[in-house]
């Protein structure tokens, strides 16, 4: 077995490094329809591999004559070695192939080169040994051209430049054939060889003449040993025939703990007369021959044989078949510090033949595991190969899914997590120890493939495809998510937090229905989203995954989705509110809807103010618009069923509702004299009244007076009276202007307040107010009040100053104005404290006599144009 050219052999020096015995990747790449496996190649000469190795000991003068195909007459099967015997059991009825005793090399314990006479005697049958092809390719470039005679022990270097004394870490072993003759087994054991394989047979016409001595000598030295057969796979010699010949002539096995399983040496054809390197067999014929040999060995011994080969020969002559991954692998690879790329189907080897030039006689090998595992391997208690476990399960999974069609590739193992897969006409079956074997097919399989197969976001399938869902849907679950499919939506993946949210909503039976696309990421703040029939699910690290649909979904979309003022949703829609309402929270606010109002957003201070009022259960009800900004002084407004919320940088945020809101509206709201509200409405005033502060004043309401504003100097004057608890009570009108001299007034329950630019604002009330009214208010002789009413006069009297006079009142006289010359004359007497007392009538004048008269408690004052004021 030597499939390397000299050039390739030398190239391996570039790969020298630290030795590793860990599993290597499988030959095949990820599954891609159609089958990613290489199709069986032609039966012409194989290409020279880059780093394969030779196997058995150095050849002692080889020949190109094929062994005879005549089978040895049937004999009793060779009994398996006895577990109780310390000596090797010599195969029964073995006839040495060489015709003369001259073919036997001297028993010197190190003969790896036969003498020319021995080589001549061996020529014609039994001339091949493990690794012969590798040696020939290395030396001549052709596995069917004999190599020059080499002394194994004289070689100072292995192929690729490694020292002949180099050995990889691990349990060491060796293999020999007739080329080594009598072997000094004790020395080999002392050098560290723990196990050995001995060539027993070749084809159906050759038995190693040194087999008994070599097999028994290895056992006597304390080695675990086994037998190998050099295969001559031709159409004229079946695998079953050669397997039977092998087992009957030394290839038996016993679970005695000292016997290795039978070994099949399958490599390059060393005999040109038998065809090309693949014996002129097609890949399919070669695979069938190997299966025939293996099945027969298993029937006769109870164990499948270990297969010795090279990666290049296997790819060339079996079409890179993965059908034997349940067999232990004995891989040949020289001149490199690891076993390299393994044949298809195997994720690891059992034995690696790493040299034919030392450190041991024959070929040098290393067991991949521990000594305990080697002992277990000998008694057939080794862990079954991955392919051996996966194969039957993959086949069973395919049978349970007949729509997947027939296999289009062999089993491929060694993919992620130690998994295996096999391609079929309409899908694949994947297996891992953790997930089991499950088929994927059709659109679901294609969607999984686009996601990266088992290396992608979903990992391996953990269930089979399940159909019969709503609207003829199907689902298949994977390690990290699911794939859903319907005729209408096609196939889409759901995974992670988005899948979890969809699941909590009831999956395809929810308002969202089926996914219509895969998850898409790269949104603001690293977010992702996925579209569904009835809406979307959005996710970000800060917000988690939440769904939007219906009116909320549309309204959120109009804001700019996650890029808008609301950001991402932080929970799903919640319903069951007053009047059949629903709400949903977002990073930047909330959204509420009802059957009567539609869906609207609240955020920031407006949302906080609404929440403080009791949300939809409060006095405002549901929002009827989104926030409207761009008002005076940077203000914003949001309308609700029963009122509004206004906000501005200067005024803050406040609610307006009911009669107060209506009154404010009549005053042009924020554009009017009152400006923005600075507080919410406050109730609990006298007589069940309420008020609300604004930037420019107040609005007060009571059940009897309604809502009226007060502001400016009239408002200040009213405040000075004690607001609604003072002498005037509540306002009963708004401020009314356009009076004489640009004046204004406002009515209250118990009087008025009048204002003019020259007089300011003063209240009039009670009988004094009535008396002033009789003079025609500000348009009469008195003009505007210039002070408020003042009491505490003589006999409990009160008075109030006006522009044109005064009005005095006492309990006994009532209220009467005084003005002009009569008023001045009364003042000169000392007002109400003087000799006249309080006025008891208003001033009366006669147009005919041109006189005016006014009576007082203690007299009368009369005025004439000629005499002035006189007292009587």
Strand 224-230 versus strand 193-202 pairing type: parallel
45 flagged as catalytic? no
* Cα dihedral 646/647/651/654 (nearest 10): 50
Give the Cα separation of 457 and 495 in Å (integer).
8
The answer to whether the CB of 605 falls within 8 A of the CB of 652 is yes
Closest CA to 320 of 342, 305, 295: 342
Query: Annotated catalytic residue: which of 52, 56, 59, 175?
Result: 175
The answer to whether the CB of 663 falls within 8 A of the CB of 708 is yes
> Could you check whether the bond before residue 34 is cis, i.e. omega within 30 degrees of 0?
yes
Closest CA to 641 of 679, 682, 598: 598
Closest CA to 103 of 211, 217, 179: 179
Handedness of CA 262, 268, 270, 272 (dihedral sign): positive
Q: With 0-12 CB in 10 A as exposed, 13-18 as middle and 19+ as buried, what is 101?
A: exposed
The answer to whether the CB of 215 falls within 8 A of the CB of 263 is no
Tokens encoding 453? 């197969």
52 flagged as catalytic? no
> Which single residue is written with the structure tokens 């298993």?
298
> Which segments of 191-304 are extended strands (E)?
193-202, 206-207, 224-230, 263-265
The answer to whether the CB of 659 falls within 8 A of the CB of 646 is no
Give the Cα separation of 148 and 139 in Å (integer).
8
Tokens encoding 804? 């044109």
DSSP β-bridge partners for residue 677 = 694
CB atoms inside a 10 Å sphere around CB 614: 11
Helix (H, G, I), strand (E, B) or coil at 591: strand
Could you tell me the end-to-end alpha-carbon distance of the chain, in angstroms, rounded to an integer?
159
Tokens encoding 217? 């000598």
Strand 206-207 versus strand 224-230 pairing type: unpaired
Closest CA to 318 of 351, 349, 350, 344: 344
The answer to whether the CB of 232 falls within 8 A of the CB of 203 is yes
Query: Annotated catalytic residue: which of 265, 562, 661, 724?
Result: 265
Element containing residue 822 per DSSP (H, E): helix 820-829
Alpha-helix runs per DSSP H in 320-410: 371-378, 386-399
Query: Annotated catalytic residue: which of 184, 267, 508, 832?
Result: 267
157 flagged as catalytic? no
Give the Cα separation of 622 and 653 in Å (integer).
18
Cβ-defined contacts of 821-828 (< 8 Å, 24+) = 821/863, 821/868, 821/869, 822/852, 822/854, 822/861, 822/863, 822/869, 824/869, 825/861, 825/869, 825/871, 826/854, 826/856, 826/861
Alpha-helix runs per DSSP H in 581-739: 604-612, 658-666, 712-721
Give the Cα separation of 495 and 328 in Å (integer).
39
- The DSSP code sequence of 120-149 is HHHTTSS---TTHHHHHHHHHS-TTSPPPP
The answer to whether the CB of 713 falls within 8 A of the CB of 700 is no
CA distances from 225 to 173, 193, 523 (A): 9, 11, 65
Q: Which amino acids are annotated catalytic?
A: 175, 265, 267
């Amino acid at each position: 077995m030597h499939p390397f050219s000299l050039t390739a052999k030398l190239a391996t020096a570039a790969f020298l490094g630290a030795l590793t015995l860990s599993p290597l990747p499988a030959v095949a790449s990820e599954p891609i329809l159609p089958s990613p496996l290489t199709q069986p190649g032609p039966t012409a000469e194989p290409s020279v591999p880059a780093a394969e190795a030779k196997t058995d000991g150095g050849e002692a003068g080889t020949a190109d004559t094929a062994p005879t195909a005549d089978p040895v007459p049937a004999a009793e099967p060779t009994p398996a070695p006895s577990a109780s015997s310390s000596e090797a059991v010599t195969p029964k009825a073995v006839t040495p192939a060489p015709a003369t005793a001259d073919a036997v090399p001297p028993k010197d314990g190190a003969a790896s080169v036969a003498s020319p006479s021995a080589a001549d005697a061996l020529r014609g049958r039994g001339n091949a040994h493990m690794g012969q092809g590798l040696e020939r390719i290395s030396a001549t470039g052709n596995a069917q051209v004999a190599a020059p005679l080499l002394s194994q022990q004289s070689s100072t270097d292995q192929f690729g430049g490694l020292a002949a004394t180099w050995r990889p870490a691990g349990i060491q072993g060796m293999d020999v054939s007739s080329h080594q003759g009598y072997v000094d087994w004790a020395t080999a054991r002392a050098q560290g060889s723990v196990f050995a394989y001995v060539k027993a047979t070749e084809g159906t016409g050759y038995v190693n003449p040194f087999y008994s001595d070599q097999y028994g000598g290895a056992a006597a030295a304390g080695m675990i040993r086994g037998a190998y057969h050099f295969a001559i796979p031709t159409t004229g010699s079946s695998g079953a025939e050669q397997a039977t010949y092998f087992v009957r002539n030394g290839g038996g096995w016993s679970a005695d703990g000292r016997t290795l399983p039978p070994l099949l040496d399958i490599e390059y054809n060393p005999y040109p007369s038998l065809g090309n390197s693949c014996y002129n067999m097609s890949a399919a014929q070669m695979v069938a021959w190997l299966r025939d040999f293996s099945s027969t060995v298993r029937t006769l011994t109870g164990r499948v044989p270990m297969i010795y080969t090279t990666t290049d020969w296997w790819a060339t002559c079996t079409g890179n078949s993965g059908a034997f991954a349940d067999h232990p692998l004995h891989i040949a690879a020289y001149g490199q510090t690891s076993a390299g790329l393994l044949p298809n189907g195997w994720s690891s080897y059992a034995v690696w033949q790493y040299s034919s030039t030392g450190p041991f006689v024959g070929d040098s090998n290393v067991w991949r595991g521990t000594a305990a595992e080697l002992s277990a391997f000998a008694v057939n208690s080794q862990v079954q190969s991955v392919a051996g476990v996966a194969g039957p399960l993959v086949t069973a999974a395919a049978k349970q899914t007949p729509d997947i069609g027939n296999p289009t590739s062999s089993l491929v193992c060694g993919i992620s997590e130690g998994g295996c897969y096999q391609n079929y006409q309409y899908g694949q079956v994947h297996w891992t120890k953790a997930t089991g074997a499950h088929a994927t097919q059709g659109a679901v399989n294609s969607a999984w493939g686009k996601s990266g197969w088992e290396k992608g976001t979903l990992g391996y399938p953990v269930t089979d495809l399940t159909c019969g869902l709503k609207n003829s849907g199907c689902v298949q679950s994977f390690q990290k998510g699911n794939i859903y499919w319907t005729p209408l939506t096609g196939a889409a993946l759901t995974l992670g937090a988005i899948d979890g949210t969809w699941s909590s909503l009831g999956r395809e039976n929810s308002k969202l229905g089926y996914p219509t696309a895969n998850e898409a990421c790269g949104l603001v703040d690293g977010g992702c989203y996925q579209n569904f029939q009835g809406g979307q699910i959005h996710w970000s690290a800060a917000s988690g995954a939440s769904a939007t649909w219906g009116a909320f979904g549309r309204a959120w979309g109009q804001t700019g989705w996650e890029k808008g003022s609301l950001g991402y949703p932080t929970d799903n829609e919640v319903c069951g509110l007053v009047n059949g309402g629903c709400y949903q929270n977002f990073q930047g606010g909330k959204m509420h809807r009802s059957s009567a109002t539609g869906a609207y957003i609240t955020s920031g201070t407006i949302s906080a103010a609404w929440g403080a009022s009791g949300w939809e259960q409060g006095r405002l009800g549901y929002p009827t618009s989104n926030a409207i900004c761009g008002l005076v002084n940077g203000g914003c407004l949001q309308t609700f069923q029963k009122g509004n919320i206004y906000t501005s940088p200067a005024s803050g945020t406040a609610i307006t509702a009911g009669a107060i809101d209506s009154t404010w509206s009549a005053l042009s709201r924020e554009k009017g004299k009152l400006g923005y509200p600075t507080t919410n409405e406050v109730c609990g005033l006298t007589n069940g009244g309420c008020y609300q502060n604004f930037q420019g004043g107040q609005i007060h309401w009571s059940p009897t007076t309604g809502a009226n504003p007060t502001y400016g100097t009239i408002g200040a004057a009213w405040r000075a009276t004690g607001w609604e608890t003072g002498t005037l009570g509540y306002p009963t009108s708004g401020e009314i202007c356009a009076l004489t001299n640009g004046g204004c007034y406002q009515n209250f329950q118990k009087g008025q307040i009048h204002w003019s630019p020259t007089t300011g604002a003063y209240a009039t009330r009670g009988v004094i107010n009535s008396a002033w009214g009789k003079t025609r208010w500000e348009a009469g002789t008195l003009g505007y009040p210039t002070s408020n009413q003042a009491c505490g006069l003589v006999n409990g009297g009160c008075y109030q100053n006006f522009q044109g006079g005064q009005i005095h009142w006492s309990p006994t006289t009532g209220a009467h104005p005084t003005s002009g010359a009569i008023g001045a004359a009364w003042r000169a007497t000392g007002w109400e404290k003087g000799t006249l007392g309080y006025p008891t009538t208003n001033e009366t004048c006669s147009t005919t006599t041109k006189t005016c008269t006014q009576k007082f408690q203690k007299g009368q004052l009369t005025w004439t144009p000629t005499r002035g004021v006189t007292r009587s």
